[in-house]
Structure 1
Amino acid sequence: MSIPNSSTPLLARGSTFVTPSLLWKSGAILATIGMIAGAFGSHALKRRPGISPDGLSAWGTASHYAIFNGLALFVISMHPRFSTHKFAGPAIAGGGLVFSGSIMALVLWKLKFLGPITPMGGMAMIAGYIALAL
């Protein structure tokens, strides 16, 4: 039996559907969504009737979180131990999508039932980052 080191994966390769490629692509998608949403918020959203300054601020938060989580997934995809972690990457990707997406839907369409969904996305992101620390 060999002694684990910093390059030892937490889980054996092939034991999960999570691959570095999947995390990289998820990061690219989240970062792209965040950039497009940020541009939309800066240009088109502020001219839309019924969008308050608080709504614009929330939109900015959602787009920033999408970009930050996308960049984090890029980094995680390159890490020898965490690129195949069963929980962390999917939690960050899914949580980021739910968090940012629900805020954007709340701002655009005032879908109040999504209000309680937003913190669940945030908790998933947080749990993913905590999983990286464990």
Structure 2
Amino acid sequence: MKELFLIIGGVYGTLAVIFGAFGAHALKKKLSEEQQKSFETGVRYQMYHALILIVTAIAFPFREVSQQITGWCFVIGVLLFSFSIYGLVLSDANGKKMRILGPITPLGGLFLIIGWILFTINIAEIATYLNPAQ
């Protein structure tokens, strides 16, 4: 599980850099200012969650189901949140906005929120276990 989340975190981070450069350069003339901001939001959240996924993989022993769910919430959340934003922006820029993706973005956000809540609970439990006197 650790290795898988480390790899996915690394892939997400790499793709965030690629998509960020693509959005800033190749799409600059194709996207409106609003579309550019939305695309950048997708990239930013993807990078944030690539990093927290790597931290999760390093910090958690994955003995608890909630620790595994934490990692999967970040993985699924990025797929649904960031990638739906990319799809919405690119399809809108091509004049064929894929409205079906609209409801997927907040669902991805919900997975990210759940991931952060579980991360906080799990990391607090680990900290208590490692430092029982405090």
Answer yes or no: same fold by TM over 0.5: yes
1:12 paired residue number: none
Are 1:67 and 2:54 counterparts? Answer: no
User: In structure 1, which of residues 115, 118, 121 is the aligned counterpart of residue 102 of structure 2?
Assistant: 115
Q: Secondary structure at the match of 1:133?
A: helix
Alpha-carbon shift at residue 86 of structure 1 (Å): 2.2
User: In structure 2, which of residues 3, 20, 27 is the aligned counterpart of residue 38 of structure 1?
Assistant: 20
Change (3 A) 1:80 1:106: closer
How many residue pairs match? The answer is: 114
Conserved? CA contact 1:82–1:132, under 8 Å: no
Mapped partners of 1:36, 1:80: distance in 2: 28
Conserved? CA contact 1:95–1:121, under 8 Å: yes
- Percent identity between matched residues is 36
Are 1:55 and 2:13 counterparts? Answer: no
Larger helix proportion of the pair:
2
Mapped partners of 1:22, 1:86: distance in 2: 11
Alpha-carbon shift at residue 97 of structure 1 (Å): 1.6
Q: What residue identity is the alignment partner of 1:41?
A: G
Conserved? CA contact 1:23–1:83, under 8 Å: no
Provide structure 1 residue ranges, at least 5 long, that are not aligned to the other structure: 1-18
Provide structure 2 residue ranges, at least 5 long, that are not aligned to the other structure: 92-96, 122-134
Where relative contact order (Cα < 8 A, 6+ residues apart) is larger, the structure is: 1
Conserved? CA contact 1:94–1:121, under 8 Å: yes
Mapped partners of 1:73, 1:46: distance in 2: 29
Deviations 1:39-61 (A, max 9, x none): 0011011122xx21110000001
Q: What residue identity is the alignment partner of 2:28?
A: K
Question: Which aligned segments of 4 or more residues in structure 1 are displaced greater than 3 angstroms?
Answer: 80-84
